[in-house]
Amino acid sequence: MRTFAFYFLFIFLIFYITMTGNITFTMIKPDAVKNGHIGAILKMITDAGFRIVAMKFTRMSVAKASKFYEIHKEQPFYDKLIEFMTSGPIVAAVLEKENAVEDFRKLVGTTNPDNAEEGTIRKLYATSTRENAVHGSDSDENALHEGSFHFATSEWFDKDGNCMG
Ligand code: CMP
C-alpha cells in the first residue's frame, strides 16, 4: 500500500517539475561504461549547461530493467535490451537545465548512431542502435517518472546543495 509519504513526495516532485519544467533523466549505459567513456560523457553533459540533481553508479537487476523498459515489452528487441542493460553497471542521473528534455535529446542524438549528427554523444560513443551509450527521457512526464524510479527524493539536491527530500 502506498503511504502518505509516497504521495507527498510524488506531489512535491510534480510541483518541482511544474515550477521548473526543466528536468531530464539519463543513464550512461553499460557499453559506454565498459568502454571508459563515463568521464567524457559527463563532461559533455555539464559543458552543455546541465546541472546534476541526482547521480549514482549502479547495476540494474533483470527485475528493475524489465520494469523500467515495460513500455517496450512487445518489441522484438526487448529481451536483448534487458540482457544488455543488465550486463554491467550504469551511471543514472537526474539533470536540470532550461528546456532539459529537448536540449538533452539534441545533445544525445538519434537512437541509431549511424543517423546521429556529428558532435552528439551517440555519434561519438554509441556502437549500435541497442548499445547506444546513453538514455535520455522523451518527455517531462517520463523524466519525472524515470527520475523517481531510480532515485528517492532524499537523493535529489537543489542548486544550493540542499536535499530536496
Ligand atoms: P533508449 O531510447 O534509451 O531506450 C529504449 C532502448 O531500446 C533504446 O535506447 C535502445 O537501446 C533500444 N532500442 C530501440 N530501438 C531498437 C531497435 N530497433 N533495435 C535494438 N534496440 C533498440
pLDDT of residue 5: 72
Q: Bridge partners of 28?
A: 91, 134
pLDDT for residue 14: 61
Residue nearest to atom 8 of ligand 1 (CA): 130
pLDDT at 17 over 60: no
Q: For the segment 67-109, what is each residue's pLDDT rounded down to a tens digit?
A: 999 999 999 999 999 999 999 999 999 999 999 999 999 999 9
Q: Kindly state if the Cβ of 127 falls inside 6 Å of ligand 1.
A: no
Q: Is the Cβ atom of 132 under 6 angstroms away from ligand 1?
A: yes
The amino acid sitting at 115 is N
Ligand 1 centroid–CA 69 distance in Å is: 10
Q: Which of 37, 72, 135, 150 is catalytic?
A: 135
Cell numbers linked to 37: 567513456
- What gap in Å lies between CA 71 and CA 90, rounded to an integer? 20
Q: Is 154 in the pocket of ligand 1 (CB under 6 A)?
A: no
Strand partners, 24: 95
Per the annotation, the verdict on 135 as an active-site residue is yes
Instruction: Give the residue whose CA is nearest to atom 1 of ligand 1.
Output: 135
CA of 111 to the centre of ligand 1 (A): 6
Q: Report domain extents, the chain.
A: 4-155
Closest CA to 151 of 64, 82, 22, 87: 64
Residue 164 has a pLDDT of: 87
Which of the pair, 8 or 39, is modelled with greater confidence? 39
CB of 77 closer than 6 angstroms to any ligand 1 atom: yes
In the reported structure, the alpha carbon of residue 130 is separated from the centroid of ligand 1 by a whole-number distance in angstroms of 5
Q: Is the CB of 130 under 6 A from ligand 1?
A: yes
**Does 15 have pLDDT greater than 60?**
no
Q: How confident is the model at residue 11 (pLDDT cuts 50, 70, 90)?
A: low
Is the pLDDT at 7 greater than 80? The verdict is: no
pLDDT at res. 20: 57
For 118-157, how does the pLDDT look when each residue is reduced to its tens digit (9 = 90+)?
999 999 999 999 999 999 999 999 999 999 999 999 999 9
Distance of CA 15 to the CA centre of its chain: 20
As its CATH architecture, domain 4-155 has 2-Layer Sandwich (3.30)
